[in-house]
């Protein structure tokens, strides 16, 4: 199956998940799990990137 990428905010993802949660579980559980897995991986990767020291920039603390 062909895949696409969509850029949406965390709030929008939560709204989509909330709306899907109103459907019968058997109809949406696989989609909900897929959305959650991809979102969690992206959020974790973004957090890791923010925690990394800036590479290639001089360290102002060195004397």
pTM above 0.85, yes or no: no
DSSP state string for 36-59: HHHHHHHHHHHHHHHHS--TTSPP
Does residue 38 form part of some domain?
A: yes
Q: What is the pLDDT of residues 4-49, one digit of tens each?
A: 999 999 999 999 999 999 999 999 999 999 999 999 999 999 999 9
**Model confidence at 62: pLDDT above 60:** no
- What range does the domain containing 31 cover? 10-50
Does residue 23 form part of some domain?
A: yes
**Model confidence at 63: pLDDT above 90:** no
Q: Are 20 and 28 in contact (CB under 8 A)?
A: yes
Does residue 18 form part of some domain?
A: yes
Within 10 angstroms of residue 17's Cβ, the number of other Cβ atoms is: 15
Record the tokens describing residue 14, joined without a space.
Answer: 């939560």
CA–CA distance, 61 with 53 (Å, rounded to integer): 13
How many distinct structural domains can be found in the chain?
1
Does residue 61 form part of some domain?
A: no
């Amino acid at each position: 199956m062909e895949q696409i990428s969509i850029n949406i905010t965390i709030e929008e993802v939560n709204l989509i998940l909330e709306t899907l949660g109103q459907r019968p579980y058997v109809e949406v559980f696989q989609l909900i799990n897929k959305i959650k897995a991809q979102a969690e991986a992206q959020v974790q990767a973004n957090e890791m990137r923010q925690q990394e020291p800036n590479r290639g920039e001089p360290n102002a603390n060195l004397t």
